[in-house]
Structure 1
Amino acid sequence: MTDGTTGWTGGQRAFGDFAPGLVHYTDKVLFDEVWERGDLSKRDRSLVAVAALTAMGKTDQLRFHLNFARQNGVTEAELKEAILHLAFYTGWPNGMAAMTVLKEIIENSGD
């Protein structure tokens, strides 16, 4: 895009006019600014997001970020290995929950 933004609209699609502040910060700040910074690749940012969300047990957001990680070049095998590794640092239940989400995504993706 010519204005330097990605045109991300995930917040808008999720909340429309219901939560305009959250839409703004999600679309314009988080995805148009933070995710576009050059010091980390999107692939690396995806792995960091997966790790943080797994650690916190945030499976609703993890569902999006596991898919997004795949779009950003993280392989299925790498995600499985990352979650296995995270299980020892974030707690076994969080690792099991994250792996369950990944399994559902892979089984439903047809890959």
Structure 2
Amino acid sequence: MTEQGTGWTGGQNAFGDFAPGLVHYTDKVLFDEVWERDSLTKRDRSLVTVSALTALGKTDQLGFHLAFARQNGVTDDELKEAILHLAFYAGWPAGMAAMTALKKIIEEDA
């Protein structure tokens, strides 16, 4: 963790002055503190986050975190395999929705 933070502004970009509390906890606590802890790599945190969002069917947030996982070193093949595995534990519709989101991200990046 750093004293100054990472400069993350995703909450601010999404909500500006509309929801200052959510902006604070997103930018300063979640991304400046939790994501910067040393106990897990950002790559591992991304896999955990993608897994949780897939299992919960939270596709609005999943798109961002699939792209973020790729930035954090998770390969497309690893994401595909994780989603396939999750489909059996989280439910087939959740797996299909997550794979659809990943396919869209990969195709947009091509």
Q: Is TM > 0.5 for Structure 1 vs Structure 2?
A: yes
What is the one-letter code of the residue matched to 2:45? Answer: R
TM-score, reference length from structure 2: 0.97
Q: Is the partner of 2:5 in helix, strand or coil?
A: coil
CA-atom RMSD, angstroms? 0.9
Gaps spanning 5+ residues in structure 1: where?
A: none
Residue 51 of structure 1 is matched in structure 2 by 51
Instruction: State the identity as a percent.
Output: 81
Pairing of 1:1-111 with structure 2 (within 5 A): 3-110=3-110
Where do 5+ consecutive residues of structure 2 fail to align? none
For residues 60 and 106 of structure 1, what CA distance do their matches in structure 2 show? 17
Task: Show CA shifts across 1:39-86 (max 9, x none).
Answer: 000000000000000000000100000000000000000000000000
Report the AA paired with residue 82 of structure 1.
A
**How many residue pairs were aligned?**
109
